[in-house]
Amino acid sequence: MILPDPLKVSPYEYEGTHSFLLEYIGKCKIGEILIGQELMQMLDVLLGHFDNPEIKVDYEDAYKRIKFIETKCKHFEAPFAGKPFVLELFQKAFTEAIYIFKIYDEEIGRWVRLYQDVLFLVARKNGKTPLISALCLAEFFCGELGTRILCSSNDYEQADLMFQAINSMREESKSLMNVTRSNIKGIFFGNPKKPKKTGKFSYKNKGTIKKISAKTGAKEGKNIKVGAVDEVHELKDNSSTMPIRQAVSTQDEPLYIELTTEGIVNDGYLDERMREARQVLNGELERPRWLIWLYTQDSEQEIWKNEKSWAKSNPGLGVIKKKSFLKKMVEEAKSSKSMRVFVLSKDFNIKQNNASAWLTPEDIINEEEFDLEELRNCFGIGAVDLSKSGDLASARIILMKPGSQKKYTLQKYFIPESKLETLSKEDRKRFVEWIRSGLIDVSPGNENDFSLVTAWFVKLVKEYGIRPYKIGYDKWSAIYWAKEMEEYGFDLVKVSQQDWGSMSEPMRLVEADLKSNLINYSNNPIDKFCLENTALDMNTKMEMRPIKVQGKEDKKIDGAVTIIIGYRVYIDNRTEFLSLVGR
């Protein structure tokens, strides 16, 4: 199809009706609106529909829903709370794309909506949840009698966000409130205070809007017309989406919408959906009923070099999402690996591997060494990762000098003799050298003798006067060892390395201190080895914890874990510990 001339007085019309979709395509084509190549591929497909004799273009359903949203829906969150929901051009174009294209269904015997399956990928804070919530509410009122809608997500809290957005928009409108009611189970037609005996807005209309999460049972068997699944990047597989997709399959014109940003779950549900979506866009896979609307960047490099390119993944930039906020995020991402992972995935829809290296070689390399005599009679913070009894274990003490932010850390490693035989040839050579150098103590047989860990801390006290203020330890296999340590008078604190909340803050501080050369680990090669093998695992709250780098599952990270555990204890007791250091 030949695009209308944008310089004419009435451009972007099709058969005498203005099309927001054609307007959007036209402005994208001339570069007035910047989008990525993947969305342009979809727009080219949509443009071809206008010339396809087997597809009918009918604006009625789209215009009805756009009008409903702009006249009946109001925003409910600051800074737009109470204001009418005025749709941006990209939102109107997206809505049109869903509703205006019709195909004749021989089985049903009438024209039906072409697109029944929608994937909507857009960076965070671009209004995706309010938009889909408004569309669900519009479908509830503008759709047929008995329309049932289901809001879903990976957890109940996220599913509730969409449901509450729908309900809040309903509550903002007196006319919508007059014909509906809500409770903890959902939203329903019929108002007990102003009952209607017949018609669409009476109790006879059994339409509902409800919410479920991926953890909710008994999803099969629901007969719904609209299913909207939020933040699908968190899903590990299709076990929570397939029941919803099957539940809409009985409808003549079902609508199944997945809305999300990119994520950091490896080999998750979204990864498979994105692979299929890209195959469809490239003509390698046929899915004619699937609307794929992806706001993605064309490369990572353009993010750092060209601020204008940010609009490709952020269509609401400057109106819905503040550019100053995004600038701040990008600047922080330049100096922090954890922030970089989060920003690239959540603000620019660039998939991040959550098992890639946490630190760069430059962050890790520090050839400084220190003489323990300089720190004699100091207070310290201990940290222990006993791991499994048949594996490498790590013990550490973190020391500081009065008036300095630098942390000096002394470490000792422990391994059972039999474990050496299971190491790779390359690692075995390293470990044998480290044992000869006195960096690792070996226990005979198949298990670590954890009393050697206790003896190491006792030795620090007796020979150097170093007094552990508190010792953090991961609770794995530590019951008897902890009891032994407490009998010696040591104060132990449990710190779980599997807990996002425990690990996140200390990991950030360790990263920052390594970059600033504020950690002196006396050039210990095992510490370097462990830091190189450590990856960050991040959740959607931007909390992180240490895991092994993908592909290095046989490598060790125990030394990195004890640094982080030590920092957790330091953060929790900073004021009191520093007062002891300053004495």
Nearest residue to 411 via CA among 562, 187, 304, 246: 562
Query: Residue 216's pLDDT is what?
Result: 57
Query: Are 381 and 289 contained in the same domain?
Result: no
Nearest residue to 39 via CA among 233, 345, 297, 318: 297
What pTM, to 2 d.p., does this model score? 0.78
Give domain status of residue 352, yes or no: no
Query: Residue 505's pLDDT is what?
Result: 95
Per-residue pLDDT of the chain (583 residues; tens, 9 = 90+): 444 444 344 577 777 789 999 999 999 999 999 999 999 999 999 999 999 999 999 999 999 999 999 999 998 887 888 889 999 999 999 999 999 999 999 999 999 999 999 999 999 999 999 999 999 999 999 999 999 999 988 777 777 888 999 999 999 999 999 999 999 889 999 988 888 888 888 899 999 999 887 555 444 446 789 999 998 888 888 877 888 888 888 889 999 999 999 987 777 899 999 999 999 999 999 999 999 999 999 999 999 999 999 999 999 999 999 999 999 999 999 888 888 888 999 999 998 776 667 888 889 988 899 999 999 999 999 999 987 667 899 999 999 999 999 999 999 999 999 999 888 888 999 999 999 999 999 999 999 999 999 999 999 999 999 999 999 998 766 788 999 999 999 999 999 888 888 999 999 999 999 999 999 999 999 999 999 999 888 887 788 899 988 777 788 999 999 999 999 999 999 999 999 998 7
Query: Are 238 and 131 contained in the same domain?
Result: yes
Query: Are 539 and 479 contained in the same domain?
Result: yes
Query: Are 270 and 132 contained in the same domain?
Result: yes
Q: Is the dihedral of CA 302, 305, 311, 314 positive or negative?
A: positive
Query: Residue 6's pLDDT is what?
Result: 42
Give domain status of residue 356, yes or no: no
Query: Are 458 and 328 contained in the same domain?
Result: no
Cα(177)–Cα(184) distance, integer angstroms: 16
Give domain status of residue 8, yes or no: no
Give domain status of residue 535, yes or no: yes
Cα(229)–Cα(421) distance, integer angstroms: 49
Cα R_g (the chain), whole angstroms: 30
Query: Residue 21's pLDDT is what?
Result: 97
Q: Which residues of 110-128 are buried (b: 16+ CB within 10 A; e: fewer)?
A: eebbbbbbbbbbbbbbbbb
Query: Are 367 and 341 contained in the same domain?
Result: no
Query: Are 566 and 450 contained in the same domain?
Result: yes
What tokens were used for 468?
């552990």
Give domain status of residue 6, yes or no: no
Which of 346, 377, 397 delimits the end of a domain? 346
Nearest residue to 388 via CA among 255, 501, 481: 481
Amino acid identity, position 5: D
**SS3 for 36-53, per residue?**
CHHHHHHHHHHHHHCCCC
CATH number where 171 lies: 3.40.50.300
Query: Are 78 and 131 contained in the same domain?
Result: yes
Query: Residue 7's pLDDT is what?
Result: 39
Query: Are 325 and 390 contained in the same domain?
Result: no
CB 200 within 8 A of CB 188: no
Query: Residue 414's pLDDT is what?
Result: 95
Which of 293, 323, 346 delimits the end of a domain? 346
Domain interval for residue 281: 13-346
CATH number where 463 lies: 3.30.420.240
Give domain status of residue 351, yes or no: no
Query: Are 379 and 277 contained in the same domain?
Result: no
Give domain status of residue 156, yes or no: yes
Query: Residue 214's pLDDT is what?
Result: 58
Query: Are 200 and 316 contained in the same domain?
Result: yes
Query: Residue 235's pLDDT is what?
Result: 85
Query: Residue 4's pLDDT is what?
Result: 45
Give domain status of residue 437, yes or no: yes
Query: Are 242 and 366 contained in the same domain?
Result: no
Which of 318, 346, 374 delimits the end of a domain? 346
Q: How many domains does the chain have?
A: 2
